[in-house]
Amino acid sequence: MSSAMRKTTKTPVARRLAAAAIALGSCLALAGPAGSVVAAPTDPVPTVFFGDSYTANFGIAPVNHEGSEKFFCFQAKENYPAVATRRLADKGITLDVQSDVSCGGALTHHFWQEQELPFGLGKLPPQQDALKQDTQLTVGSMGGNTVGFNRILKQCSDKLRTEGALLPGEPVDGDEPAAKCGEFFESGDGKAWLDGQFEQVGWELEELLDRIGYFAPDAKRVLVGYPRLVPEDTTKCLTAAPGQTELPLADIPQDALPVLDQVQKRLDDVMKKAVADADGGADFVDLYASTGSNTACDGADRGIGGLLEESQVKLGDYKLPWYAHPNEKGRDIQAEQVADRVEQVLNQ
């Protein structure tokens, strides 16, 4: 791919290149008999999973690629792509997983640009390199890191500013106290920063979907949203989960929690729009809408590990915090929702 094609603009570069292939595919689809029903595929479906730490399922052990620099993608061996693939197999749908390139810390543009691993351990190739001409299904999540959710969390938490060194990113404005982060993001420079982040996410997601259409023209595209972190009733976040001493969202002020939820809902809406606007069609798994009873603050029912609760992953003798990622219950919810949507897509 030329350097000109790799450049991203607010008018997605790959859109024009994909248009002819998409139009041809649409014509062929229209040529089928009226009212025909497509049965689930009987042959294995060549599939690529892509994404960030929510696809890799950071925090769940054991981790793939032990002994390799790719270990620091923290891709769980039992991430939702692996679990969803088994669920589909139980229904008679076999995915031929060509690759799972999901990696913690991935920004949306790492779909078409190299990703630098932490600790100077090297670079990973663009995730789009996993796509092949015969890929028929692509599934994954991106956008949360591009919005800068880690930076937002650090803006709102003194503990994360001092104890979250392994969580990438700095507060948006370290001179502003964490206690005032709610009002910071609702006006002035904080709101302007957020607006810019969401604008970038929107057109980068369009670019991502267009590039899948270009490099894998026959692939169904399934973009997976993010599970909900903050419940509607934020008083739930004032009680530690069973067996825990840390509050699920640490020291983030209660009046900032609705703001965090609004940020996440806005990301969900931006992802939906990118899917709705995608040339040739795409599908969306709306995890935010279906996980309101499994937030980080839902005690024994929580599907999200608390910000500073110990996860299952160790570096030496140190257990990394969950940093608000899905635990095994949350992973299973992701897998169920993804498997159900993939089954629907492949039956269309």
The tokens for 98 are: 């060509």
Cα separation, 135 vs 117, in Å, equals 27
* Cα distance from N-terminal residue to C-terminal residue, the chain: 32
Mark whether 145 is an active-site residue. yes
Question: Among residues 57, 79, 145, 150, which one is catalytic?
Answer: 145
**Alpha carbon separation from 286 to 230, 289, 333 (Å, rounded):** 16, 6, 12
Question: Among residues 105, 140, 164, 305, which one is catalytic?
Answer: 105
Mark whether 325 is an active-site residue. yes
Name the nearest CA neighbour of 323 among 173, 168, 162. Answer: 168
Bridge-based pairing state of the strands 283-285 and 115-116: unpaired
The separation between CA 102 and the C-alpha centre of its own chain, rounded to angstroms, equals 9
Question: Among residues 53, 64, 102, 157, which one is catalytic?
Answer: 53
Q: Let me know: does 131 contact 111? Beta carbons within 8 Å.
A: no
**Alpha carbon separation from 161 to 177, 188, 263 (Å, rounded):** 11, 22, 20
Question: Among residues 109, 190, 303, 325, which one is catalytic?
Answer: 325
Q: Where are the alpha helices (DSSP H) in the chain?
A: 3-6, 13-30, 53-56, 80-90, 144-147, 149-156, 158-163, 181-186, 188-215, 257-277, 287-290, 328-347
Residues carrying an active site annotation:
53, 105, 145, 325
